[in-house]
Chain A
Amino acid sequence: MGSFYFPGDSWLHRTAAGVKLLLLMLAGAGLMWVHDWRILLLVLLGVLLLVQQSGARLQQVWLYLKTLSWLVIILILYTAFAQTPLGALEVGLRIYALLLGALLVSMTTSIAQMMEVLIWLLRPFHQLGWVNSERVALVFGLTLRLIPELTVQWQDIREAQAARGLKANPFTMGVPMLLRTLRRAQDIADALDARQ
């Protein structure tokens, strides 16, 4: 599975992941209080400049934005209808500035770096003994490993039912999917325990 991250050597890539995340959070909270569309436009242009600085291919950025856009466009139309066109402009600018900013962090920070920030954030809980960072990492790794397995499992059930002339329906798919998944849990747990 691909992620948004692309390797690079821009100063945005070199900035610590924690700093980028903190700035993104502050910007997100700050923009909620800005209601002047001219300032919002400046912010959006600033973010675009940063995107350009990161060395991202604009085509790629556009592709990501497109997957997020249909909802935003509905929202803008809804706001224009329910409020004023100027309000809709403000909403659109704010959302795109935030989306692009967040996308920028995702594009310049690898999953490993993000994971490090997460583990760092969990450290106080780890020291209190509430959370075991290694187990967190285990659950994450296991989840990613199981996605293809469960996709195959879904297709198996689907095919088995198609062979019997059944159409996909939430009951006939849901129950066997869950039962097989639960049955698997014990086997995997036993395998993990045996290795410890």
Chain B
Amino acid sequence: MLKTKDLVLVALFTAMIIVLGLIPPVPVPWVPVPITLQTFGVMLAGLILGPWRGGLVVLTYVLIAMLGIPVLPGGRAGLAVLAGPTGGFLLGMIPGAVITGWLAGALPRGELAHAPQGWKAVAPQVLRCWVASVIGGLLVVYAVGIPWLATVTGMGLNKAAWAVVVFLPGDLLKALVASIVAQRVRRLGMI
């Protein structure tokens, strides 16, 4: 059973993803598409809270949006988003966060707080987080989103996949930033 603190963490992280999503998109050099911080928040939820609480965070996020409260980027909400072409990407974030958290694994509590902080010492942790967010936060999300896009629009899977390619560089970069941030936070063992 989840403790009160777990429930609070889920609520806090969900609220944080919502806040991150409502902040105007951040332009990133070399990437043609403006990056919303929403998927960034989803990766962080998995990396920092682990698979179950991370999954619950995204589930809560999607359900709140479906209830009709405008929490998605650009103040969107409601069932229309799910019925639309990008609904699959939203739904895919739920298993995405679970798998990110599962692959990233748990860090021993607070043990690394005083560990050496050189670039070489943290690289393996960051790399593991990055692989986890790329598989969970990108591949799994795309695996649900692309067939959904293909079905709603009636375009073939191939063409739908190509339409998503523009987001790939931004998402890979986002995964890296999330991994570095997560590694810094995880090291402190506050969860």
Q: A-side interface residues toward B, CB under 8 Å?
A: 1-5, 21, 24, 28, 32, 35, 64, 67-68, 71-72, 75, 78-79, 82-83, 87, 90-91, 94-95, 98-103, 105-106, 109, 111, 114-115, 118, 135, 138-140, 142-144, 146-147, 149-151, 154, 168, 170-171, 174-175, 177-179, 181-186, 188-189, 192-193
| B83 and A79 form a contact (CB under 8 A) | no
CB neighbours of B75 from chain A (8 A): 67
Query: For the complex, is B177 an interface residue (Cβ under 8 Å from A)?
Result: yes
- Whether the Cβ atoms of A4 and B68 lie closer than 8 Å is yes
CB proximity of B110 to chain A, nearest CB, Å: 13
Docked CA distance A103–B185 (Å): 40
Beyond A106-B68, A139-B60, is A68–B84 a contact (Cβ under 8 Å)?
A: yes
Sample of 23 A–B contacts (CB below 8 Å): A2-B70, A35-B154, A71-B84, A75-B153, A79-B153, A83-B155, A94-B153, A102-B84, A103-B78, A118-B63, A135-B2, A139-B11, A146-B11, A147-B71, A170-B177, A171-B180, A178-B16, A178-B185, A182-B48, A182-B185, A188-B8, A188-B12, A189-B7
Q: With A91-B153, A181-B12 in contact, is A99–B68 under 8 Å at CB?
A: no
Partner of A185, one of B12, B71, B76: B12
B128 at the interface (CB under 8 A from A): no
State whether A82 touches B23 (Cβ < 8 A).
Answer: no
Is the beta-carbon distance between B63 and A68 smaller than 8 angstroms?
no
- CB-CB under 8 A for A90 and B7, given A99-B80, A143-B64: no
Question: B113 — which chain A residues lie within 8 A by C-beta?
Answer: none
A149 to B15 CA separation, bound complex (whole angstroms): 9
B168: min CB distance to chain A, Å: 16
The residue from B7, B85, B190 contacting A139, defined by CB atoms under 8 A apart: B7
A170 to chain B, nearest CB (A): 5
CB distance from A82 to the nearest CB of B (A): 5
* Given A4-B68, A170-B40, 11 new contacts (CB under 8 A): A3-B69, A64-B80, A71-B84, A95-B85, A98-B84, A100-B80, A102-B80, A139-B10, A151-B19, A183-B190, A189-B4
B79: Cβ under 8 A from any A Cβ:
yes
A146→B64 CA distance, assembly (Å): 13
Residue of B nearest to A135 (CB): B7
B190→A179 contact, CB < 8 A: yes
Determine the interface band of chain B, counting residues with CB < 8 A from chain A. Answer: 35 or more
B151 within 8 A of partner (CB): yes
Cβ-defined contact, A75 with B85, below 8 A: yes
Q: Mark B136-157, 1 if CB is under 8 A from A, else 0.
A: 0000000000000001111100
Complex interface: chain B residues within 8 A of A118 (CB): 63, 67
The CA of A24 and the CA of B78, in the complex, are separated in Å by 12
A111 touches B68 (CB 8 A): yes
Assembled-state Cα–Cα distance A87/B153 (Å): 9
- Is residue B181 contacting chain A, with contact meaning CB distance below 8 A? yes
A98–B81 CA distance with the chains assembled, in angstroms:
10
State the CA gap A82–B85 with chains docked (Å). 16
Residue of A nearest to B9 (CB): A185
Residues of A within 8 A of B56 (CB): 139
A2–B22 Cα distance when bound, in Å, is 14
